[in-house]
């Protein structure tokens, strides 16, 4: 990420446009093709185009896809909105798809434990909200890192792929991403909260991108061959907020 007034040489300053009644962020980059995305949770629209793309082409693309854009915006806005957690006793937090009641236990011990239906967050009295959040996130990261190796290895073998490198990070708009050239996939830390079948779906989805980089019919056919029920899993995952923002965010 650049700082101050400097920007990467591959990207110009983003600007806001309103086309066909749709507000979007338009970014010119050193890319080969135009891409149009609608992001949760509020339906923000971002279009990335190759440098020098005629504005007429931008306008026509938005106008032609305006119904698609509005449908996605409506769907995102109808989804449950992320809950702003304070990490105090009584809150509901999910682990592997199951709801648990958080119990903040203050003392000299630090850590996170599952006990029946409770998620025990052990912290010192000096731990503020951000410190408690960081502690729980670290625990989620451990859970996900333990679950990923057998999934990636098993599915790489089934799909006839050389296993890629894989990493976990907090993501605000995607459940996963793939860099086919670098043979690297990223999984959203929030997947530790979702049921294992959804984590498996995202792993297969990103592995499939090593063969087909886009979401074309070829990609969809590949997904159907390896994971026939993937569409239902994708729809289920769409109903979950990706990550809850901090209070005041």
Could you give the C-alpha distances from 204 to 112, 197, 220, 221, 237, in angstroms and in order?
29, 11, 12, 13, 14
Q: How confident is the model at residue 37 (pLDDT cuts 50, 70, 90)?
A: confident
Please determine, for residue 185, whether its predicted confidence score (pLDDT) is greater than 60: yes
Q: What is the pLDDT of residue 12?
A: 54
Note the pLDDT tens digit of each residue in 106-147: 987 889 999 888 999 999 999 999 999 999 999 999 999 999
With beta carbons less than 8 A apart as the criterion, state whether 137 and 93 touch: no
Q: What is the pLDDT of residue 243?
A: 60
Mean pLDDT of the chain: 87
Please determine, for residue 164, whether its predicted confidence score (pLDDT) is greater than 70: yes
Q: What is the pLDDT of residue 2?
A: 27
Note the pLDDT tens digit of each residue in 46-76: 899 998 899 999 999 999 999 999 988 887 7
β-bridge mates for residue 177, sequence order:
186
Please determine, for residue 103, whether its predicted confidence score (pLDDT) is greater than 90: yes
Which domains can be identified in the chain, with CATH numbers?
15-78 (no CATH), 129-238 (3.30.2010.10)
């Amino acid at each position: 990420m650049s700082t101050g007034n400097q920007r990467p040489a591959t990207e110009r300053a983003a600007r806001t446009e309103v086309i066909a009644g749709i507000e979007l962020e338009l970014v010119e980059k050193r890319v080969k093709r135009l891409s149009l995305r609608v992001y949760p949770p509020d339906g923000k629209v971002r279009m990335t185009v190759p440098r020098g793309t005629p504005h007429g082409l931008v306008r026509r693309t938005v106008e032609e896809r305006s119904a698609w854009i509005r449908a996605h915006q409506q769907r995102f806005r109808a989804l449950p909105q992320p809950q702003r957690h304070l990490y105090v006793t009584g809150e509901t937090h999910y682990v592997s798809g199951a709801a648990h009641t958080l119990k903040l236990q203050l003392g000299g011990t630090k850590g996170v434990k599952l006990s029946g239906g409770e998620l025990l967050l052990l912290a010192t009295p000096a731990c503020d909200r951000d410190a408690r959040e960081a502690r729980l996130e670290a625990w989620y990261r451990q859970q996900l890192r333990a679950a990923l190796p057998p999934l990636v290895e098993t599915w790489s073998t089934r799909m006839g792929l050389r296993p890629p490198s894989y990493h976990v990070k907090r993501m605000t708009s995607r459940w996963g991403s793939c860099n086919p050239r670098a043979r690297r996939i990223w999984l959203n830390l929030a997947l530790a909260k979702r049921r294992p079948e959804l984590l498996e779906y995202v792993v297969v989805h990103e592995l499939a991108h090593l063969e087909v980089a886009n979401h074309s019919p070829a990609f969809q056919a590949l997904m159907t061959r390896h994971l026939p029920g993937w569409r239902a899993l994708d729809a289920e995952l769409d109903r979950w907020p990706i990550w809850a923002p901090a209070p005041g965010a």
